[in-house]
Chains A and B, each alone.
Chain A
Amino acid sequence: MIIGLQIVAILFSLSMVYFAVHSYKRGELNGMEVTGWIVVWVGTTIIVVFPELLQTFAKTFLFTRVFDVMVVGGFILVISMVSMSYLRTKRNEKKLEELVRKLSLKSK
């Protein structure tokens, strides 16, 4: 069961590395960004293959299982990324609105 989960997680991490590199080649990510993502996904793969690496961390923060640490860590990562993405979208919306309104007023 655990091995099955690990295989799925490894395949997912590797495909995410592929997408990061693909986006870099298309010029959607810069060098720093692609490096950051590769570090994240390779790190995830290492933790998935050797979950005992997180054992000390789990004990320190009173988690019963390493799996729980990974789930909680994943949630924190996802929530923070969604929040960042939301803020960026709001900022871009605002900029777009200002630009469109400015162009409209400028035409008169």
Chain B
Amino acid sequence: MRTAQKGYTGRRRRLTFGQVVLVTFMLLLALTMIVPVLNILAKSFSDPDLSPTMGGLRVIPAGFSTVNYQLVFSNKSIMPALWNSVYITVVGTALNIFLTTSAAYVLIQPRLLFKKSIMTFLIIMMLFDPGIIPEYMVMGKRQLNLIGSQWSIILVYAVNVYYLIIMMRYFQEVPAELYEAARMDGAGHITVLMRVVFPLAKAGIATITMFYAVVRWNEYFKASIYLTKASETTLQVILRQFVVLGDTTTLVGMSNMMSYNELAQIDYGALKAATIIVAIVPILILYPFVLRFYTKDVIAGSIKG
């Protein structure tokens, strides 16, 4: 049974005192979640002369200026890092999807040998995290020698067991007869995967792709350890250095700090705000799609009963 409005959510629309209190409370709660973000956005577009005294509740820019974004997009540390993030996200997510879909396809086959052992192995791998130092040793000179290479970051997150299991569930929703029929017609496994599973599990693959992409884009920790050269680092690492650790010297450059020029006089708070916004925008672009595929039913208020 599946109706647009199931359960009692949204069934009665009588305006009672309790409803008014509830809605007011929930909207205030939602405001605490969105106002800090809007305040950062407003600050980033404010006039650098006015932004230092701007209040924390303001969601409209004080004056208007794009100077912070001009500085961000011409910055010699931020721009290469932004492109590195895009590169690692795209290549990394492609690798994630390649491995996750092929492994998920194999693992849903009913007659797979050692299926139970393989699943147990994967679940142990999911639950047991050896920690950062033993992994750092693997990346080091004596083992893989990947430190300083972007492949370290691309490879170390190649498969997420949790997403693999979700992918398997999506694949299992494709009727088994379709696989069987294609196999009977003499199609190989790769053909079945490409021609039958991919088109039918499109929505599921799209969802997992977005989850992987978000994780890739947001990754900063291992990037800050393994990407030792400044030219290879990612936006989140730079953002952390600048916004969280407050290191303005690296970002703006020593020469600019010393000389009393335009760059040194800008409002760092507003420049930080603009950098944060640049890091959020790709997430905001993906967000509607994530909602659409993953939480569509939850938001529409209907769940299969």
A binds B: no
